[in-house]
Amino acid sequence: MSGSIRLFVSAPLAEGVEVQATPGQAHYLGTVMRRATGAPVRLFNGADGEWQARLTVIKRDRAVLAVETPLRAQAAEPDLWLAFAVLKRDATDLVAQKATELGVSALVPVITERTNAERVNATRIIAIATEAAEQSERLTVPRVAPLQRLPDLLVHWPAGRTLFAAIERAGAAPLRPRQGGSAAALLVGPEGGFSERELDALRARPFVVPVSLGPRILRAETASIVGLALLQAGD
Ligand code: SAH
């Protein structure tokens, strides 16, 4: 089935169900991809696995898909979050897309002392993550957490989840693959790095493990990609 269109929908999926596409999906199917009635489309919704469906109605801003047969059962995804200092728009977009391809279950945008942005376009991040999930054959779209300040993130940190904090120039131990898919998160700072105060706050927390990503100073977006790949190298 490779090459066929794959769409994330919010409707329940089961044999015989009819799913209404969003106007954006209808535009994509009909106008962009030039699909006609009868065209196969794969659907997933994050809960019911992946299904083979077929286009039964295609108009400019309306499409209906008839769900036919199951293709893949829903399976657990890696329990890995990416917490990242918000970057300029293009870099944030890149991080959302690549982190989704790399399997994260949650994107957690963070404001740090040296973060320039005070807001993040959550709708845009969700749209990018959804497209990346469709393209990378995931069965879920990562959750996008509300924007929060680093001290709040640390105060409300969930028990049992290790936070690997990427810290350059500090002689931290190299990041190694996590063991047995245990609950974890990667934290990457802004272009200006973490402040001394933030570094102290991170080091004071028992769930934080400072890690190095090698001898070179990476752009924040590179650090996110490399860190997520390294953490999962043993999965
Ligand atoms: N301006 C800072 C660099 C910040 S790089 C300086 O000159 O020191 C942006 C973020 O990427 C950092 O906050 C860190 O989380 C991560 N990062 C970049 N290179 C890294 C490395 N070699 N090891 C660990 N983390 C790194």
- Residue closest via CA to ligand 1's atom 1 equals 192
pLDDT tens sequence across 22-72: 999 999 999 999 999 999 999 999 999 999 999 999 999 999 999 999 999
Across the chain, mean pLDDT equals: 95
* Cα angle, residue 94 at apex, residues 91 and 96 outer, rounded to 5°: 110
pLDDT band with cut points at 50, 70 and 90 for residue 3? low
Question: What local confidence, expressed as pLDDT, does residue 118 receive?
Answer: 86
Determine whether the shortest distance from the Cβ of 169 to ligand 1 is under 6 A.
yes
Q: In sequence order, which residues have a C-beta less than 8 Å from that of residue 95 and are 6 or more positions away? A: 82, 84, 87, 107, 220, 221, 224, 225
Pocket lining: 188 vs ligand 1, CB cutoff 6 Å: yes
Q: Is the CB of 220 under 6 A from ligand 1?
A: yes
Ligand 1 atom nearest the C-alpha of 189 is 13
Report pLDDT digits (tens) over 100-157.
999 999 999 999 999 988 899 999 999 999 999 999 999 999 999 999 999 999 999 9
* 219 Cα to the center of ligand 1, angstroms: 7
Q: Are 134 and 101 in contact (CB under 8 A)?
A: no
For ligand 1, what atom is nearest to the CA of residue 166? 25
Tell me what pLDDT residue 181 has: 73
Which ligand 1 atom is at minimum distance from the Cα of 187? 15
Is 19 within 8 Å of 62 (Cβ atoms)? no
Residue 77 pLDDT: 84
Query: Residues 171-198: what's their mean pLDDT?
Result: 93
| Confidence band of 178 (pLDDT split at 50, 70, 90) | confident
Q: What is the DSSP letter of 103?
A: T
Which of 57-61, 203-207, 211-215, 231-235 comes out lowest in average pLDDT? 231-235
Q: Is 191's C-beta closer than 6 angstroms to any atom of ligand 1?
A: yes
Q: Which amino acid is at 38?
A: G
**Residue 2 above 50 pLDDT?**
no
**By alpha-carbon position, which residue is closest to atom 8 of ligand 1?**
193
**pLDDT for 1 beyond 60:** no
Statement: residue 234 has pLDDT above 90: no
Ranges of CATH 2.40.240.20 domains, the chain: 6-72
Distance between CA atoms of 183 and 7, rounded to whole angstroms? 28
pLDDT tens-place string over residues 89-111 = 999 999 999 999 999 999 999 99
d(CA 190, CA 231): 20
CA–centroid distance, 166 to ligand 1, in Å, is: 7
CATH number for the domain whose boundaries are 6-72 = 2.40.240.20
Ligand 1 atom closest to Cα of residue 213? 23
* pLDDT value at residue 206: 97
Which residue's CA is the nearest one to ligand 1's atom 9?
220
Contact 193, 87 (CB under 8 A): no
pLDDT of residue 235: 81
Task: In the chain, list all ranges with CATH 3.40.1280.10.
Answer: 80-231
CATH of region 80-231, choose from 3.40.50.300, 3.30.1330.60, 3.40.1280.10, 3.30.70.120 = 3.40.1280.10
Q: Tell whether ligand 1 has an atom less than 6 A from the beta carbon of residue 29.
A: no
